[in-house]
Amino acid sequence: MDIVLIIVGFILIIGGIIGSFIPILPGPITSWFGLLFLYLTDAVPMSYTVLGITLILALAIFILDYFIPAMGAKRFGGSRYGVIGTTVGLLIGIFFFPPFGIIIGPFLGALAGELLNGTKSNLAVKAAFGSLLGLLTSVFIKFTVASCFAVLFVWKFFEHASDLY
């Protein structure tokens, strides 16, 4: 049973890292569930402190993920349309124009959103840049946290690997 928990946990860790780039999947929370599965094995002793701290961190990042792109857009004069355009552009860019779509898609989406909102073109470009900057900041934070969870997973796995067999 431990092997199944470890495999599922590892898949969740990888899913969390991927979810750092895809807005539909909550990256750090998915990675946290990977840690939880590891700690549910008999080989790795349960640490409520580690799980509690990492859960609080994952939830904080999850909540901040909704505010950081908007803060970037607002800081540069953007509107709600720019933030929505950033997310739509990211989804289109990731799936239809990888790997460069992760940068170009959000920028073009935010620009289109701002232009649809009636913003002048020079202000729309500035707002699109702000939306893109906010999105990239959010992605960087999520990726960093999910990667730290992955390192913790691998570290704990190898620390207790002899107890698994």
Q: Which of 61, 62, 5 is nearest to 34 (CA)?
A: 5
- Residue-level pLDDT at 124: 87
What does the pLDDT look like over 139-160, one tens digit per residue? 899 999 999 999 999 999 998 8
Write down the residue that tokens 């989804």 correspond to: 91
Answering whether pTM is above 0.85, one says no
Whether residue 165 has pLDDT greater than 70: no
Q: Tokens for 52?
A: 């509690």
Q: From CA 128, how far away is CA 90, in angstroms rounded?
A: 12
Q: What whole-number distance in Å separates Cα of residue 64 and Cα of residue 151? A: 22
How does pLDDT run across 118-127, given as a tens digit for each residue? 888 888 888 8
pLDDT digits (tens, 9 = 90+) for 39-96: 999 888 888 999 999 999 999 999 888 778 777 777 887 788 888 888 888 888 888 8
Question: The domain containing residue 117 runs over which residues?
Answer: 2-164
Residue 31 · residue 16 · CB < 8 Å: yes
- What's the confidence (pLDDT) of residue 156? 92
What is the count of structural domains for the chain?
1
